[in-house]
Amino acid sequence: MPKRVDHALRRRQIVDAVCRITLKGGLAAATFREVAAEAGVSVRLVQYYFGTKDQLLLSTHQHVAERATKRITERVADAGHTPRDALRALLGSFIPTDDDSRETMLLFAALHTAALVDPSLARDESLAVPRSLHAAITRHLRRGKLRRGTDPDMEAAILAGLIPSLAQAVLDGLQTADEAHQILDYALDRALT
């Protein structure tokens, strides 16, 4: 039997190598040469699977987004059933409290910044996460009992905007995770009765 190659596994090993290198030294350090060495494959193989650095970073972005979405979906499923419980679980899961969530937020920040500077990376795919987050928040808010005078779209925009900042402030050491959760709770209380 000819040797079967698990392409998905190979691609995954390479993308994981990009993540590890980025967490140690920033995206700048993730050259094809460094990624190949870290993944234990040849530079040609990285080129074969991803072609350009652009493609490699987009695949890394998608991988990080999928991993985060899985973790967040599980947390929301475990949460209570009121809209406030769901929102608290959904939004709270972005606040880094362990290595996994910390690494995810660092990778998002690094990939997002790269996309800001290099317009070829700023594709529509990379806007999928903030767009679906905004849609999910609006959906939960509309299920709930909104305070008088509140606009669900505007409240969703505030909550969606607040979350990356709270997460980054915790990473920066500007705030503790507890303080970030308090601000989130306050923002939810301002929107929902």
Q: What tokens appear for 173 in the block?
A: 């050491």
- Tell how many helices (H) and how many strands (E) occur in the chain: 9, 0
Cβ proximity to a second copy: between 42 and 55 the closer is 55
CB nearer to a second copy: pick between 79 and 162: 162
Q: Verify binding: residue 161, a second copy, rule CB under 8 A.
A: yes
Cα dihedral sign for 9, 126, 65, 80? Answer: negative
Helix 152-172 and helix 177-191: axis angle, to 10°? 170
**What residues between 101 and 130 interact with a second copy by CB under 8 A?**
106, 109-110, 112-118, 122, 126-127, 130
For residues 72 and 168, what is the distance between their CA atoms, to the nearest angstrom? 17
In the block, tokens 């947390």 appear at 75
Comparison of 48 and 116: residue with beta carbon closer to a second copy:
116
Strand, coil or helix: 42: coil
Pick the piece of the chain touching a second copy (CB under 8 A) from 33-41, 63-71, 77-85, 178-186.
Answer: 178-186
* Nearer Cβ to a second copy (39/191): 191
Residues forming the site for a second copy (CB under 8 A): 22-28, 106, 109-110, 112-118, 122, 126-127, 130-131, 150-151, 154, 157-158, 160-162, 164-166, 168-169, 171-174, 182-183, 186-187, 190
